[in-house]
């Protein structure tokens, strides 16, 4: 029968009043708020719980609140760390003065990109570094490329200042009276004669770049007087190739330079009958 008299005051429903162990959307008023700390052990079934449903993800300490808004932006206060990995190996945070991506665990910190890895200024208007898959890596100064790798090495735009400079040294040998100086191998060469030999210069840089190398020719200890035939592309002063010193273990040093990809070489005698 209908209730006669004043309606009873509304009562809160305790956990013991939920008989089937579940709460559905209809049980909660749209204006109600449930603190996330009270949701431990709750498993969402029909409806997924995501950042759009949450205003406050939790309070670790007073004033240290991680929040997510309707745009999907998650905010961590200064000093709070986003940790990834079982032991929190990878960490991302801002301490109020600087931002950090730090690897505190085992292994390497690897950044992968299917096309290019690009580092820019905060406004996204200047490149600081670009690295392309199967391509160049370029370092910039004030958005100007200064050092760029390529298939043959690297290009430097502007002055190159070093406190120390070294060249690669290679000792070349002969076989069947033939010797090759490969310009890709270095800028300083030596060759100890074991037979009369004909020289070939290979892999000179393309026209437009200048390339210079030196070579030390050493006679054998028996003073056999072996001779050298230089490439026909070498132009000597007065169109005359030098005569080698024939005494035992004598050393002659020659310098060669080209600026047209090795089509023409200029040869010079740096010193003879040395050592």
pLDDT tens, position by position, 236-272? 999 999 999 999 999 999 999 999 999 999 999 999 9
Query: Which own/partner pairs from 198-201 qualify as long-range (CB within 8 Å, at least 24 positions apart)?
Result: 198/228, 198/229, 199/228, 199/229, 199/230, 199/231, 200/231, 201/231, 201/233, 201/256, 201/262, 201/265
Per-residue pLDDT band for 49 (boundaries 50, 70, 90) equals very low
**pLDDT for the residue numbered 151:** 86
Q: Label residues 174-188 b or e (16+ Cβ within 10 Å = b).
A: beeeebebebebeee
**pLDDT for the residue numbered 147:** 95
CA distance 165 to 9: 91
CA distance 186 to 188: 6
CA distance 127 to 145: 9
CB 57 within 8 A of CB 36: yes
**pLDDT for the residue numbered 21:** 57
**pLDDT for the residue numbered 19:** 59
pTM over 0.85: no
Instruction: Tell me whether residue 240 is exposed, middle or buried, using C-beta atoms within 10 angstroms of its C-beta: 0 to 12, 13 to 18, 19 or more.
Output: exposed
Looking at the predicted structure, is the pLDDT value of residue 23 above 50? yes
**pLDDT for the residue numbered 26:** 60
pLDDT mean across residues, the chain: 84
């Amino acid at each position: 029968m209908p209730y006669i008299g004043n309606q009873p005051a509304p009562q809160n429903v305790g956990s013991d009043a939920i008989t089937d162990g579940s709460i559905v959307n209809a049980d909660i008023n749209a204006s109600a708020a449930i603190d996330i700390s009270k949701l431990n052990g709750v498993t969402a079934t029909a409806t997924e719980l995501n950042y759009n449903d949450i205003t406050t993800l939790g309070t670790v300490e007073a004033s240290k609140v991680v929040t997510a808004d309707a745009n999907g932006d998650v905010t961590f206060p200064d000093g709070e760390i986003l940790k990834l990995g079982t032991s929190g190996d990878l960490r991302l945070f801002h301490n109020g003065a600087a931002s950090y991506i730090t690897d505190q665990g085992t292994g390497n910190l690897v950044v992968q990109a299917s096309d290019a890895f690009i580092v820019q200024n905060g406004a996204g208007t200047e490149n600081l570094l670009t690295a392309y898959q199967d391509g160049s890596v370029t370092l910039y100064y004030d958005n100007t490329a200064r050092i760029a790798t390529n298939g043959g090495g690297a290009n430097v735009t502007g002055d190159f200042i070093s406190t120390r400079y070294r060249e690669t040294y290679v000792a070349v040998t002969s076989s069947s009276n033939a010797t090759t100086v490969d310009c890709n191998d270095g800028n300083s060469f030596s060759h100890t004669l074991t037979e009369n030999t004909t020289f070939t210069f290979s892999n000179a840089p393309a026209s437009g770049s200048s390339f210079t190398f030196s070579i030390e020719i050493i006679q054998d200890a028996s003073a056999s007087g072996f001779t050298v035939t230089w490439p026909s592309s070498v132009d000597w002063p007065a169109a005359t190739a030098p005569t080698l010193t024939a005494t035992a273990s004598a050393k002659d040093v020659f310098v060669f330079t080209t600026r047209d990809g090795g089509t023409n070489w200029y040869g010079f005698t740096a010193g003879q009958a040395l050592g």
